[in-house]
Amino acid sequence: MPNCFPISRPHYAENVELDEAPKRVLIVMDALKDFSMEILEWVLNNFSFDTSSKISILGITPYLNIPLSTKTWSDRWGMDLEDLVLLLQKNENDFKYQKLGRLIHLCRKYGVVPEIRTEMGHPLRLLVIEQISTLHATLVVFDRYHDKKHIEYYAKKIPCNMLVVNHNGKAQLIKKVRCDVSQVESPSSSSTPK
């Protein structure tokens, strides 16, 4: 499991400051791993958001067999914030749901309502590009579980700001651009991966 991305230096920008506040943030996580509050917290702490800003948390996963997909989907992935509040009220003393309380508190503190969703498909990198295009993301933040070759592929295909948050909680700016959401390449126009 990769901890950090030793992507060649020319792909790095020097700092994590962006020229403008992101309007549509997409946080891409591995849905087979535990939901990471740290990435959401890092994004909320480091960028300013207004009422028109939108945050989406996307859990991606390959096609799974029925028992495994039920276990994964029954967790926090794919729930609305209102559903999480109701679930937390019913199970407030359960350790599993205390993380949900932290998510709800964090979102209320910053005045955001994230969209949490799960997408399943193959190949994963085309699935991610399709979601970035569909959601018109201006900033994409990847968790540490995405490997180097996929990150480099995304950097070539996606014309918006890209970050990877590593295992130490430090962000690496992979690509810094002035984003034009109309330029995001759709999966149908991209070449099929090898």
What CATH number is given to the structural domain containing 173? 3.40.50.620
Q: With cut-offs at 50, 70 and 90, classify the pLDDT of residue 90.
A: low
Arithmetic mean of pLDDT, 114-127:
86
In a domain, residue 26? The reply is: yes
Percent pLDDT > 90 in the chain is 7
In a domain, residue 190? The reply is: no
Arithmetic mean of pLDDT, 35-40:
80
In a domain, residue 3? The reply is: no
- According to DSSP, residue 174 is labeled E
Q: Residue 148 is inside which H or E element, if any?
A: helix 148-157
Q: Copy the structure tokens of residue 6.
A: 């030793």
In a domain, residue 110? The reply is: yes
Arithmetic mean of pLDDT, 48-74:
72
In a domain, residue 92? The reply is: yes
In a domain, residue 192? The reply is: no
Q: State which residues form the domain around 118.
A: 9-183
Q: Would you say residue 187 has pLDDT above 50?
A: no
* Closest listed residue to residue 134, CA positions, set 110, 115, 153: 115
* Closest listed residue to residue 132, CA positions, set 151, 159, 110: 159
Q: How many domains does the chain have?
A: 1
- According to DSSP, residue 9 is labeled G
Q: Copy the structure tokens of residue 145.
A: 């579980």
Q: What is the pLDDT of residues 142-167, one digit of tens each?
A: 887 777 788 888 888 888 888 888 77
Q: Would you say residue 139 has pLDDT above 70?
A: yes
Q: Copy the structure tokens of residue 143.
A: 């968790």
Higher pLDDT, 173 or 127: 127
Q: With cut-offs at 50, 70 and 90, classify the pLDDT of residue 130.
A: very high
